[in-house]
């Protein structure tokens, strides 16, 4: 594109909204090819719609070619603006649907990883109840790190999230769902795997290569990592599991998540009576949020789920 628009964008039409939704999917998938299956259209059609949007806005939104796909600076700004626009549209639709007292619209949920193995399954039961109560409700789940869950709820892209509670952020409400215990593990092939428990003293454990999380944790959990020799990091618990299962690192995992590998004889808890910490998993919503019938129904289901 050789030049920018000199006149302002007069209005945003339905056609523009369709193009902006395509653009968001392409940006989130990281390219045209990866977005094909998500959008259900071919790469040439995606390319044409992206060109139409760039022409409409008078901005170059992305670089594509042999060097790969990347958003331009303007593309990143348009993506952020589009997220706010779509969130506002969904808020409007939810309010209008609420006038009919019928469960319609969307529920956008952000979850941290590995919650599906929590035995209580309150989230699963609440989702089942919501689907029974509102068959036409569209449920969208995003698996992202806890900090992104909280930010998504704050800026309106997510209606609700579930995260390990590490301290309340301003503007958010937290409601405890259940507790979770994490223990220190090593895997088959690690030098400590076959050592007798009596020989696992603190000095030996604290000298092993270990994994530190990059997500927020409460102070009592952080203390456990400060005692270790952390030479690797991971943004989520699945990343930590990958490294532990190499047999070269020790690290903390939720016991419900580690249990299948323990049962198979692939993981072993180290000093289980001392090397553990408890976390509270909480739902998080935005304070002062607008009325949202679908969200309120889901929150009520969470409160009664067992």
pLDDT at 306 over 70: no
pLDDT at 12: 82
Q: In this structure, what token pair is assigned to residue 262?
A: 């323990």
pLDDT at 258: 94
pLDDT at 191 over 80: yes
- Structural contact between residues 172 and 288, judged by C-beta atoms closer than 8 angstroms: no
- Structural contact between residues 187 and 168, judged by C-beta atoms closer than 8 angstroms: no
Query: Which DSSP string do the residues of 184-251 spell out, in sequence order?
Result: EEEETTSTTTTS-GGG--HHHHHTSEEEEE-S---HHHHHHHHTSEEEEEESSHHHHHHHHTTTS-BE
Torsion angles phi and psi, residue 239, rounded to 5: -60, -40
Between the alpha carbon of residue 31 and those of residues 1, 38, 55, 58, the distances in Å are 19, 11, 19, 20
Looking at per-residue pLDDT, the higher value among 202 and 96 belongs to: 202
Which of 84, 67, 66, 65 has the alpha carbon at shortest distance from 24? Answer: 84
pLDDT at 211: 96
pLDDT at 98 over 90: no
Between the alpha carbon of residue 246 and those of residues 214, 243, 252, 258, the distances in Å are 20, 5, 14, 14
pLDDT at 164: 84
pLDDT in tens, 16-35: 899 999 999 899 888 888 88
Looking at per-residue pLDDT, the higher value among 190 and 64 belongs to: 190
pLDDT at 5: 58
pLDDT in tens, 294-304: 899 999 988 88
pLDDT in tens, 261-300: 999 999 999 999 999 999 888 899 999 888 788 899 999 9
Residue partners of 129: CB distance under 8 A and separation at least 6: 301, 305
| Intervals of CATH 1.10.10.10 along the chain | 14-84
pLDDT at 3 over 60: no
pLDDT at 255 over 80: yes
What does the pLDDT average to over 202-221? 91
What does the pLDDT average to over 106-114? 85
Report how far residue 165's alpha carbon sits from residue 117's, in angstroms, rounded to the nearest whole number.
18
Q: Position of tokens 């270990």? A: 210
pLDDT bin (cut points 50, 70, 90) of residue 90 is confident
pLDDT at 33: 87
The yes or no reply on domain 89-171+286-304 and CATH 3.40.190.10 is: yes
| Intervals of CATH 3.40.190.10 along the chain | 89-171+286-304
| Intervals of CATH 3.40.190.290 along the chain | 178-280
For the chain, the average pLDDT equals 87
Among 3.40.190.290, 3.30.160.60, 3.40.50.300, 3.40.640.10, name the CATH number for the domain at 178-280: 3.40.190.290
Among 3.40.50.11890, 1.25.40.10, 1.10.1510.10, 1.10.10.10, name the CATH number for the domain at 14-84: 1.10.10.10
pLDDT in tens, 155-170: 889 999 998 888 788 8
Burial 26-38 (b: 16+ CB within 10 A, else e): bbebebbeebbee
């Amino acid at each position: 594109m050789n030049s920018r628009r000199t006149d302002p964008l007069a209005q945003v039409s339905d056609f523009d909204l369709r193009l902006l939704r395509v653009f968001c999917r392409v940006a989130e998938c990281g390219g045209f090819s990866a977005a094909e299956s998500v959008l259900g259209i071919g790469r040439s059609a995606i390319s044409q719609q992206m060109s139409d949007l760039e022409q409409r806005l008078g901005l170059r939104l992305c670089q594509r070619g042999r060097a790969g796909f990347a958003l331009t600076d303007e593309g990143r700004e348009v993506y952020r603006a589009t997220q706010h626009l779509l969130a506002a549209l969904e808020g409007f639709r939810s309010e209008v649907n609420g006038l009919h007292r019928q469960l319609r619209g969307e529920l956008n949920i952000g979850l941290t990883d590995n919650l599906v193995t929590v035995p209580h399954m309150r989230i699963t039961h609440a989702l089942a109840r919501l689907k029974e109560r509102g068959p036409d409700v569209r449920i969208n789940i995003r698996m992202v790190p806890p900090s992104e869950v909280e930010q998504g709820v704050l800026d309106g892209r997510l209606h609700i999230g579930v995260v390990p509670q590490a301290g309340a952020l301003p503007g958010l409400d937290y409601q405890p769902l259940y507790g979770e215990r994490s223990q220190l593990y090593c895997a088959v092939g690690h030098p400590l795997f076959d050592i007798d428990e009596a020989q696992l003293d603190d000095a030996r454990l604290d000298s092993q290569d270990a994994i530190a999380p990059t997500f927020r944790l409460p102070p009592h959990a952080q203390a456990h990592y400060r005692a270790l020799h952390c030479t690797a990091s991971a943004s989520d618990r699945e990343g930590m599991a990958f490294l532990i299962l190499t047999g070269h690192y020790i690290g903390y995992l939720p016991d419900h998540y580690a249990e299948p590998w323990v049962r198979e004889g692939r993981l072993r808890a180290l000093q289980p009576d001392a090397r553990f910490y408890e976390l509270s998993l909480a739902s998080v919503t935005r304070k002062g949020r607008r009325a949202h019938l679908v969200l309120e129904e889901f929150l009520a289901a969470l409160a009664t789920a067992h």
